[in-house]
Homo-oligomer: A and B are copies of this chain.
């Protein structure tokens, strides 16, 4: 669960930036190269690459380099962490204390 907290934290932090949410949205349409992605955002490539790395570290995307081109792919399963968190939150306020709730109750420990 400490693991879970760290992962959840990474996902929320990654999605807290509009540029990175934009990338996630764009990748929803399919894998895209770093260059093609970067062209859609008003910043330099090195700056953009930081966002890509943040997203990759969070597990929201993964990347593959072929030749000199790095392609980014959305990792949809990762977004399920948000569903889990929301479900847990609802479990709390509905007073439920089922297995999931118990598991996640240790979130901040």
Interface string of A1-35 (1 = CB under 8 A from B): 00001001100110110110110110011000000
Residues A74-105 near B (CB distance < 8 A): 74, 76, 79, 82-83, 85-86, 88-89, 92-93
Taking a contact as CB atoms under 8 Å apart, the answer to whether B16 and A107 are in contact is: no
Given that A15-B12, A82-B86 are known contacts, is A92 also in contact with B21, CB under 8 Å in the complex?
no
- CB neighbours of A28 from chain B (8 A): 89, 92-93
B-binding residues in A (CB < 8 A): 5, 8-9, 12-13, 15-16, 18-19, 21-22, 24-25, 28-29, 74, 76, 79, 82-83, 85-86, 88-89, 92-93, 107-108
